[in-house]
């Protein structure tokens, strides 16, 4: 495959039996590029929980390599897998990747080479899925598009290229992109720090907007389409994604704009009937009252921090996957796509 991504958030350094996982510390981007080294599954689980690596597909790939570390000794293999499974609750890609690794364990036990090969397949499959998704999604985007997105769904959130940002990259490569509007995405600022970093590195025209600006920009006719990623898509098409996504879908419907979700089929959870069954990660209020270590609210201020929200399927124009674009009724179209994965 031609190289389609210049950034990767996860690397395995060394061979299967003695190598380590290294994660690009996304909390410190764009100011500095620092890699943190992990040699235990528990360490990797902590890295996921503390947002060193984030983004549903990247979390899945990272956890798969974490299982390789667990198989090499230290704590028990099952304890290592359990620690990884407990790291973050919403992204179903985490559990999907651990299931794939468990299937190898069931057949081969703690065979480190076999586990490493499976983790590597999870990584390369994700990259290939993103490139395919880019083509399907780009075909659905209007020409000369001004596209609004939220969070970071690019190379940093995946094994490379990205989901929603991958679609944007493909529209750009086709010469059909007028520009991107990236919502800053409070409180972690994935849009401001990570999406803008990726887009600027690739020379893609982009503007940063605060999370309160999309309604105004849509009302002025300055947005042509919205595309976002997902952490878990229920069987009926309800999609959990970064907090702030749902309000974009409501605004898009009001302004008659297409609202697409882009995610690999590994993000589809047919066992969860609808969005009410998707666990929403509640993170610390501290992350809301502080930005970059600076307290921005009065001392003692209380705050809420649900990290995700659920967009009901009825607000979604289409779900872009590596197997094609699912459209309403999503119950049938998602089940058909899942069979193809
Ligand atoms: O809390 P994060 O940064 O892990 O949240 C990430 C998102 O919400 C992404 O949109 C989603 O994981 C899709 S990434 C391709």
> What are the tens digits of pLDDT across the range 28-48?
999 999 999 999 999 999 999
Q: Once rounded to an integer, what is the mean pLDDT over residues 204-233? A: 98
Q: Which residue has the higher pLDDT, 184 or 292?
A: 184
Between the CA of 71 and the centroid of ligand 1 the distance, in Å, is: 28
Q: Please report the DSSP string for 271-300 in residue order.
A: TS-SGGGSPPPB--THHHHEETTEE-S-TT
Class of domain 132-339 as given by CATH: alpha beta
Q: Of 231, 238, 269, 309, which is the active-site residue?
A: 231
pLDDT for 213-227, tens place per residue? Answer: 999 999 999 999 999
| Average model confidence (pLDDT) across the chain | 96
pLDDT of residue 293: 87
Residue 48 to residue 54: CA distance in whole angstroms: 6
CA 260 to mean position of chain CA atoms: 15
What CATH architecture applies to the domain 10-128?
Up-down Bundle (1.20)
Q: Note the pTM of the prediction, 2 decimals.
A: 0.97
The domain limits of the chain are 10-128, 132-339
Q: Which residue has the higher pLDDT, 262 or 337?
A: 262
The conformational region for residue 154 under phi > 0 = left, psi -120 to 50 = alpha, else beta, is beta
Name the nearest CA neighbour of 232 among 222, 242, 220: 242
Q: Which residue has the higher pLDDT, 132 or 2?
A: 132
pLDDT for 274-318, tens place per residue? Answer: 999 999 999 999 999 999 889 999 999 999 999 999 999 999 999
Q: Is 157 in the pocket of ligand 1 (CB under 6 A)?
A: yes
Give, for ligand 1, the residue of 242, 284, 287 to mutate: max count of ligand atoms closer than 8 Å to Cβ.
Answer: 242
pLDDT of residue 6 exceeding 80: no
Q: Is 244 in the pocket of ligand 1 (CB under 6 A)?
A: no
Q: Is 241 in the pocket of ligand 1 (CB under 6 A)?
A: yes
**pLDDT bracket for residue 338 (50, 70, 90):** confident
pLDDT of residue 258 exceeding 70: yes
| Parallel/antiparallel/unpaired status of strands 259-262 and 318-321 | parallel
Question: Does 231 participate in catalysis according to the annotation?
Answer: yes
Residue nearest to atom 15 of ligand 1 (CA): 153
195 vs 100, 115, 155, 341, CA distance in Å? Answer: 29, 32, 9, 28
Q: Once rounded to an integer, what is the mean pLDDT over residues 138-155? A: 98
pLDDT of residue 292: 85
Q: Is 261 in the pocket of ligand 1 (CB under 6 A)?
A: no
pLDDT of residue 91 exceeding 90: yes
| Parallel/antiparallel/unpaired status of strands 35-38 and 20-24 | antiparallel
């Amino acid at each position: 495959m031609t190289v389609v991504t210049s950034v990767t958030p996860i690397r395995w350094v060394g061979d299967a039996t003695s190598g380590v996982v290294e994660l690009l510390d996304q909390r410190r981007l764009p100011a500095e590029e620092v890699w943190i080294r992990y040699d235990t599954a528990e360490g990797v689980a902590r890295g996921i929980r503390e947002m060193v690596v984030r983004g549903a597909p990247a979390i899945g790939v990272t956890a798969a390599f974490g299982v390789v570390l667990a198989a090499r000794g230290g704590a028990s293999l099952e304890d290592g897998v359990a620690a990884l499974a407990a790291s973050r609750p919403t992204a179903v890609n985490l559990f999907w990747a651990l299931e794939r690794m468990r299937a190898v364990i069931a057949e081969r036990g703690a065979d480190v080479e076999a586990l490493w090969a499976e983790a590597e397949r999870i990584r390369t499959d994700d990259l290939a899925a993103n490139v395919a998704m880019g083509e399907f999604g780009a075909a659905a985007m209007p020409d000369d598009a001004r596209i609004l997105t939220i969070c970071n769904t690019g190379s940093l959130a995946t094994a490379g290229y990205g989901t929603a940002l991958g679609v944007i990259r493909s529209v750009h490569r086709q010469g059909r992109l007028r520009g991107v509007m990236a919502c800053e995405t409070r409180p972690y600022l994935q849009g401001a720090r990570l999406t803008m970093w990726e887009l600027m590195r690739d020379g893609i025209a982009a503007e940063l907007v605060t999370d309160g600006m999309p309604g105004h920009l849509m009302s002025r006719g300055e947005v042509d389409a919205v595309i976002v990623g997902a952490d878990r898509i229920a069987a009926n098409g309800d999609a959990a994604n970064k907090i702030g996504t749902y309000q974009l879908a409501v605004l898009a419907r009001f302004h008659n704009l297409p609202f697409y979700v882009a995610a690999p089929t590994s993000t589809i959870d047919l066992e969860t009937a609808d969005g009410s069954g998707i666990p929403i990660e509640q993170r610390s209020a501290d992350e809301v009252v502080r930005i970059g270590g600076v307290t921005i609210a009065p001392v003692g201020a209380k705050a809420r921090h649900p990290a995700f929200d659920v967009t009901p399927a009825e607000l979604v124009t289409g779900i872009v996957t590596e197997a094609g674009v699912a459209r309403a009724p999503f119950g049938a179209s998602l089940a058909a796509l899942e069979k193809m994965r």
